[in-house]
Structure 1
């Protein structure tokens, strides 16, 4: 099993002038102690599940590009990109650029997006429920076409591209990997079955059900579900009431359900102590599972 550090709260990084150095230290520490991936949230205002709307929030892909320059091995992604926030051709180019400049470490983590308030607040494209799923699938098809080397036109219901020319090509072979995130058991997991290299769901009580439903969706499209990495999201707190042993029990539960990578935020991320504790007490243990 592997761990991925997820960044969704920037309130502990100090004043704006201090945030860059703080993030660089966090990323280097995460890489050094053995985290396999580093993900950032794709929000522009803080969400209520984490904090207050007016708390600091950084744009995802600018942050990932910055972190790429301060690391060398850790994989990088948004968890997850809101599909409507960036035109698909531009998104394909952004992920390609991150992949090229990071030496092949970029993923496309993507979902439908849900925060209509921030989208309309900042004048970003949004859509109804069905429209967002349709746009997500077209975005996936466009990115895959761009990464295939084809410069053919693309004609969809929502997006029309005169050419999918994309030079330079990604460094990742055969292309950047795709993670689809979201809890929808019909449409989200159906898209994961068709297009994804990994799926991500919340690691709560219904996590096992999500894997069962993914298997069903894979059967429907004729794909082996073993080709898709199962990943879950849960807090990574080695200093909480249950300590490192409690975290290990939770990770073992998810491992036994079939998850091979766990993404999670670490409390008080401005201190290296939590990351180092996970690196010394947790990562060596789970790497043998």
Structure 2
């Protein structure tokens, strides 16, 4: 099982965030993730750093850590530009980019920025066209594509990405109508949000049907799980840690009940169960304020309990 850390970049100090990325690298986390929003959702006065610029800085300031965004918002960047940005950052980082992409999640953000929103069907259609263009660009060959939303003609992409066949593409979500068909066609990793875990058997069956429709082996798609991590050093500290997690992550979208709240022994047991169920990687959501202590405790007390 692979482990990543998701630290929403709700900070004004890029140096501090780089320090967290270096802690992740030192303590054995394979990936480091940020969000892609124009401002902190629901908190427009809160300092927040832009995703792509932040990812570039983090990759340039680390040596082995892989960095990505859960997930890039498709409507923020034209696919031609997005493909060039991703390829360039993969070159700059020596092949350490994780490419997460989604259709967008905050309508108010789009309204403020004057960006198109549209129905779920429209956003998914735009996302599908972007994925088609970007995956073709990742091959290094000139790309021609004419869709309902985007059009490119003999578009070069030189240099292409370092990673072969391409930087891993992460698609997240649990929607059988729009998300899973795109996962089956394009994803290297299906990122299952916590709220999707309880429906995972049905969603897995739906994904397998979508894979069959495009003649793809579903075993070629890795499964990752994104969830809150609230780690208590011991039983005595657990009530306060749980109360703080419930206050911060109590909204249904966080799916805290299916996250990781407990002592090192409790969390290690949960992770072993998830690994046995077919989860290949876990991305832990933590706040910037608690990230360093959590990563240190996880490395010292959880990892040694796991048979990896």
Give me the TM-score of the superposition, normalised by structure 2: 0.85
SS of equivalent to 1:192:
helix
Native 8 Å contact 2:36 2:71 kept in 1? yes
User: What does residue 225 of structure 1 align with?
Assistant: 218
Matching of residue 126 in structure 1 with residue 114 in structure 2: no
User: What does residue 8 of structure 2 align with?
Assistant: 8
What whole-Å deviation, never above 9, does each CA across 1:155-213 have from its counterpart, x for those lacking one?
A: 11110112321111111112111111122123211111111101112134334443333
Native 8 Å contact 2:140 2:159 kept in 1? no
Alignment of 1:1-289 (within 5 A): 1-10=1-10, 13=11, 16=12, 19-48=13-42, 52-204=43-195, 205-239=198-232, 240-241=241-242, 242-267=262-287, 269=289, 272-286=292-306, 288-289=307-308
Native 8 Å contact 2:121 2:178 kept in 1? no
Native 8 Å contact 2:172 2:193 kept in 1? no
SS of equivalent to 1:235:
strand
Native 8 Å contact 2:75 2:103 kept in 1? yes
1:9 positional shift: 5.0
In structure 1, distance between residues paired with 2:136 and 2:155? 7
1:5 positional shift: 0.6
In structure 2, distance between residues paired with 1:125 and 1:283? 44
User: What does residue 256 of structure 2 align with?
Assistant: none
In structure 2, the CA distance between the partners of 1:149 and 1:156, relative to structure 1 (3 Å rule), is same
1:270 positional shift: 5.4
What whole-Å deviation, never above 9, does each CA across 1:261-282 have from its counterpart, x for those lacking one?
A: 0112124545622211111122
1:30 positional shift: 0.3
Mean CA deviation greater in 79-88 or 251-260: 251-260
In structure 2, distance between residues paired with 1:148 and 1:32? 33
In structure 2, distance between residues paired with 1:281 and 1:210? 33
Mean CA deviation greater in 199-208 or 74-83: 199-208
Q: RMSD over aligned Cα, in angstroms?
A: 1.8
In structure 2, distance between residues paired with 1:177 and 1:146? 14
In structure 2, distance between residues paired with 1:126 and 1:114? 9
In structure 2, distance between residues paired with 1:268 and 1:24? 11
What whole-Å deviation, never above 9, does each CA across 1:93-125 have from its counterpart, x for those lacking one?
A: 111111011100112101111211101201233
Give me the TM-score of the superposition, normalised by structure 1: 0.90
In structure 2, distance between residues paired with 1:54 and 1:213? 41
In structure 1, distance between residues paired with 2:38 and 2:298? 29
User: What does residue 235 of structure 2 align with?
Assistant: none
Native 8 Å contact 1:237 1:247 kept in 2? no
